Structure 1
């Protein structure tokens, strides 16, 4: 007889998924958004929530209802070659190249760097990175225990520490929201700027990656039927998404209120450190260190696990234990580049990859209405790919975007792609690709039936 999950088990799975999603970037980006958005924080936060929690939840639903066990299965609806390339790129971004190094570097810069002098920081960062990924590697060696590690232990610690700091901040606010200055593009495009800032959380990509973890966890609890697995996956996902939305909103408003006592900081990590020190002094810095390191560690465990399980399936000549070793070693090297450089290089990659992920999430959700149509998947994806390349080049560092050929491509996007200037030039090409392919597929099927 199939096992029926209790509410407590669903809560633990939801807690696990929240713990996997909510890393250091999820802490620092909403606060920085709040500081820059100022009095327009409501609209900016709304846009941020669309990409920060809306898309991840849709990603979980897409994996669940499509019966796809992982992102490769889902992307195979386009074709298998595209599926392999997209899957590898996605896991490299949320794995050793960007997300994992960022976890260690953010942990260090917020949690450790305030306690040591500047001359010692490079050496201590190197040692910290080794220790951080050794611990994550140790937990990732037994992926079936991830529910215990993250859902029952690490995540409750994180929520208690963060909740304590937020309570202090809202009981005794640093400043007013209505009088806060508004920076840059948030003055006229608060929603769309918040929307693209939500890319930085990597959560829509992570939803596709962590799908294999949550589905495996539900199966390991004794659930066998695909429909039941889908139902429990969506229910557990809803728990984590609601919790994330509440915390994102509180952090964004905390960032805006902090302007009453502090200037806009270079990044949200600095702002968070200032707030913690204001309310709690040295104790605040210690609590903040625990919050950030805990948040980063639990996310690192999930990323290493999902990366290694996927690569072991795609490239079975090597074992799971080999991949967790590789994906724990490489970030140790990249983490020492520094947080600012990691964010700088990741932005154009995210502007390229995110539209492809959004399309891959939305198309399965339309299947109950239009059915599975390979041509629709292919043309929508290829039209999106064309525009996503231009979006990515537009967000590239100046030493790339200033090349004459790149400037010509960017100028083409600026002149002919609607919404390009707000970072969403892919929307109209995606819609056009979908409509054209749907009409062509309908006509093609009609001709076959007549024949």
Structure 2
């Protein structure tokens, strides 16, 4: 019974830490632009969000929740650079500021039109700091208290939209490739990167609850991840459906934060704005707390304690408060190319880590990861009018996975290039 209770608490906490700003605003917009094909878009979204996040949690659990271990076999320099890039994106540069900006635009502004955004950002991150400063309490606070309130509020909204749809679903989609759009929106949630980072918090919590056996910790992490994944899929599906029901009302140029505000207001009236403010506030605060704690623990471990956890989370909160005042649209706009660059390399390392026991040659990791970075860099360059057309003609480019085949080939080649570690081990055996 104790195991089940702990799994549910940790699973609920994971759900809440994953379900933040992007998870709330992207599914309704995806449903809107997909029309009658919203299930196809939803499938792409779940693949890029829930599917990859669950794999990331498994990989992290195998590494005892240490981000550096997941990245280490790609080489010391790259692992540090990529690790810092992931944590900075999840931390004060993109994800954490977006939680505050979304809360203000969707929860506070509709209710209190004249409220000062700077003052709100200060209040939001003071709360984040107070809930984060004791890392051992983070998961219990989120899983036992905040998540149930979040789930109840979400259930009221989604069930209302199912019982009384706002309109007929458009028979055509507003975009060409709905599945790819779902994948791209799934990337934007940053949950795969978040899973790598949040595993630090989750594993530490499981350890503090008395579970010391490594295999048991991996099992409990997987079970908690499945609980979180089921919850996410149900909520995403409901939100995407809500978006599809207004596909004849709004156009592709609708502001994503305004869309969910308008849907909620139309379904529930003025009380809906209060419910939405509660949903957004809880979703974004729990994510902010989880990511701030994870960022603090990562940089404390990276510097062997030279940077104190408390100092890191204070700096993260201050910087995030500043960035959050740029607004959600601006943050999303400059996050897209950064995420497109680091996602493939991160996913590559996650998948390889899952089979790490079978892969003896570190050059498989190095060749594959560097190739993922190079292909990603060339792909992003095309978005900035630097024409490198061949990367757009690679297999699976239309699905956004043009890096997969080059990565597989590079990994195979790397397997036949003997690593320094292998040479060293061989010399030791001879000696």
In the alignment, is the contact (CA less than 8 A) between 1:348 and 1:393 conserved in 2? Answer: no
Q: Structure 1 residue 217 and structure 2 residue 194: aligned?
A: no
Question: Deviations for 1:157-215, whole angstroms, at most 9, x for unmatched residues?
Answer: 111011001111001112233x3431123xxx222221122101100000100111111
Alpha-carbon distance in structure 1 between the residues aligned to 2:50 and 2:98: 20
Aligned to 2:335: 346
1:321 alignment partner, one of 310, 325, 329:
310
In the alignment, is the contact (CA less than 8 A) between 1:18 and 1:240 conserved in 2? Answer: yes
Q: Structure 1 residue 54 and structure 2 residue 42: aligned?
A: no
Alpha-carbon distance in structure 1 between the residues aligned to 2:330 and 2:224: 35
TM-score by length of 2: 0.93
Alpha-carbon distance in structure 2 between the residues aligned to 1:380 and 1:5: 42
Matched position secondary structure for 1:114: coil
Alpha-carbon distance in structure 2 between the residues aligned to 1:227 and 1:295: 31
TM-score by length of 1: 0.89
Aligned to 1:398: none
Aligned to 1:19: 16
In the alignment, is the contact (CA less than 8 A) between 2:180 and 2:398 conserved in 1? Answer: no
Alpha-carbon distance in structure 2 between the residues aligned to 1:146 and 1:48: 28
Aligned to 1:364: 353
Q: Structure 1 residue 355 and structure 2 residue 352: aligned?
A: no
Two-structure CA RMSD over aligned residues (Å): 2.2
Alpha-carbon distance in structure 1 between the residues aligned to 2:417 and 2:76: 22
Aligned to 1:430: 407
Aligned to 2:41: 44
**Unmatched segments (≥5 aa) in structure 1:** 396-400
Closer, same or farther in 2 for the Cα pair 1:412/1:276, shift >3 Å?
same
Aligned to 1:192: 180
Aligned to 2:106: 110
Question: Deviations for 1:43-91, whole angstroms, at most 9, x for unmatched residues?
Answer: 11111111110000001111223x3431111101112221111110001
Which has the larger displacement, 430-439 or 273-282?
430-439
Alpha-carbon distance in structure 2 between the residues aligned to 1:257 and 1:238: 29
Q: Say how many residue pairs are matched.
A: 425
- Kindly report which structure 2 residues correspond to 1:221-370, keeping only aligned pairs within 5 A, or say none: 221-264=209-252, 266-315=254-303, 316-368=305-357, 370=358
Aligned to 2:391: 413
Q: Report the alpha carbon displacement of residue 22 of structure 1 after superposing the two structures with TM.
A: 0.7
Alpha-carbon distance in structure 1 between the residues aligned to 2:91 and 2:124: 15
Alpha-carbon distance in structure 1 between the residues aligned to 2:65 and 2:101: 32
1:31 alignment partner, one of 18, 28, 31:
28
Alpha-carbon distance in structure 2 between the residues aligned to 1:46 and 1:306: 29
Question: Deviations for 1:259-308, whole angstroms, at most 9, x for unmatched residues?
Answer: 24444452332111111111221111111111101110011000110000
Aligned to 1:383: 371
